């Protein structure tokens, strides 16, 4: 099979129509150039060039072959360029998972920034709760996760994206709604919509620790995975809930939000990845994301 060097020699001669000028362009002498053309013609079994003492021109077969030869050389150069860019993390495919809370501002803003900074990286996003992201890392089905920090056996590295306080969500007509701040003690024995200990584990554990430290125990009437559904339950008057401050963006009617008096418990959002990942595109996006979040002050 012919090689790229033979193709390059043929294309140069066929475009220069002169062996001497073609040899100069290729930084070689005429005899090895002629030899490369002869090897190519022998491999193909056709004559590609008509030669006289004073001129050279492609044969009919040579004219047809010239079109494909130029295309092959361009493809080879493109492949080499793509490989070099991929090694630097400038191209590739990255699978990013995110929790629902990150889908309103954090992820859209990150994707917009990545489109400007890394336009040739294909980012595929999946909405997964934090516990499911840990399982996805173990199954190697995601590369980066925007999630709540959960303890697990899965070894992950991470950096902090956002910190927000926890607040109380309660029906607008509830007697406690007149207070500017809510004392945890006032939630004792009150109907409460709680995050699930499974898919809502992060908030479940933080809120339970908050209650235990205050020696408070509400009446848990429902366990729900997602914050928007908790707010729907609160709107229906089924109980109160403790949610991250960003939940206020949902703007549920008949739901009011109040900070917790003397409460300093916050919810964190992180970007996580497996320490053994070595895909350049993943590393490039992660580094770009860390700079993006640092600059945006998230």
Nearest to 283 by CA among 82, 152, 128, 118: 118
pLDDT of residue 298: 46
Strand pairing category for 255-259 and 121-127 = unpaired
Q: At 79, which CATH number?
A: 1.10.10.10
pLDDT at 231: 95
Query: How does residue 239 score in pLDDT terms, banded at 50, 70 and 90?
Result: very high
Q: To the nearest whole number, what is the mean pLDDT of the chain?
A: 88
Q: Phi-psi bin for 254: left (phi > 0), alpha (psi -120 to 50), beta?
A: left
What tens digit of pLDDT does each residue of 1-24 get? 778 888 888 888 888 888 888 888
Structure tokens at 268: 């964190």
| Same-domain check for residues 124 and 178 | no
- Looking at residue 87, what is its pLDDT? 65
What pLDDT was estimated at residue 211? 92
Residue 89 pLDDT class (50, 70, 90 cuts):
low
Considering the domain architecture, whether residues 124 and 44 belong to the same structural domain is answered as no
251 shares its domain with 166? yes
94-131 pLDDT tens trace = 999 999 889 888 999 999 999 999 988 899 999 998 88
Last-in-domain residue among 66, 87, 108 = 87
Q: Are residues 46 and 115 in the same domain?
A: no
CA atoms of 298 and 293, how far apart (whole Å): 5
CATH number, domain containing residue 224: 3.40.190.290
Other Cβ atoms less than 10 A from the Cβ of 217: the count is 14
For residue 147 the two structure tokens come to 């999630």
Q: What is the CATH number of the domain that holds 290?
A: 3.40.190.10
- Our count of domains for the chain comes to 3
Report DSSP state, residue 104. Answer: T
Domain end, chosen from 67, 87, 107, is at 87
Q: What angle separates helix 201-214 from helix 130-138, to the nearest 10 degrees? A: 130
DSSP 152: -
Examine the domain organization and report whether 147 and 201 are in the same domain: no
Q: What is the pTM of this model?
A: 0.67
Among candidate residues 41, 58, 87, the one where a domain is terminated: 87
- Same domain (yes/no): 167, 263: yes
Mean pLDDT for 177-187 is: 92
246 and 180 within one domain? yes
Q: Which domain covers residue 175, as residue numbers?
A: 162-267
67 shares its domain with 118: no
Q: Retrieve residue 222's tokens.
A: 């429902």
Rounded-to-integer distance, Cα 262 and Cα 194, Å:
21
To 5 degrees, how large is the angle CA 190–CA 223–CA 173? 40
Same domain, residue pair 154 and 285: yes
| Same-domain pairing of 42 and 98 | no
Domain co-membership, 194 together with 219? yes
Are both 51 and 100 inside the same structural domain?
A: no
């Amino acid at each position: 099979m012919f090689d790229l060097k033979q193709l390059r020699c043929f294309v140069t001669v066929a475009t220069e129509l002169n062996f001497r000028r073609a040899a100069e362009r290729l930084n070689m002498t005429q005899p090895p150039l002629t030899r490369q053309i002869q090897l190519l013609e022998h491999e193909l079994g056709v004559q590609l060039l008509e030669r006289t003492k004073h001129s050279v021109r492609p044969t009919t077969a040579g004219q047809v072959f010239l079109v494909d030869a130029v295309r092959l050389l361009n493809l080879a150069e493109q492949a080499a360029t793509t490989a070099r860019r991929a090694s630097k993390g400038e191209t590739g495919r990255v699978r990013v998972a995110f929790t629902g809370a990150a889908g309103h501002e954090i992820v859209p803003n990150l994707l917009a920034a990545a489109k400007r900074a890394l336009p040739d990286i294909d980012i595929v996003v999946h909405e997964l709760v934090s516990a499911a992201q840990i399982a996805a890392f173990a199954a190697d089905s995601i590369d980066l996760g925007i999630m709540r920090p959960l303890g697990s056996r899965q070894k992950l590295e991470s950096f902090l994206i956002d910190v927000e306080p926890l607040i109380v969500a309660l029906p607008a007509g509830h007697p406690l709604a007149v207070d500017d701040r809510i004392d945890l003690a006032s939630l004792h024995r009150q109907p409460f919509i709680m995050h699930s200990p499974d898919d809502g584990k992060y908030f479940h554990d933080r809120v339970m620790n908050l209650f235990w430290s205050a020696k408070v125990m509400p009446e848990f009437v429902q366990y729900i995975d997602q914050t928007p559904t908790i707010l729907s339950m609160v709107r229906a008057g089924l109980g109160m809930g403790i949610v991250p401050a960003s939940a206020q963006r949902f703007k549920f009617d008949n739901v009011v939000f109040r900070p917790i008096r003397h409460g300093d418990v916050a919810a964190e959002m992180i970007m996580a990845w497996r320490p053994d990942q070595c895909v350049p595109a993943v590393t490039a996006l992660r580094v770009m994301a860390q700079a993006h979040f640092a600059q945006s002050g998230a």
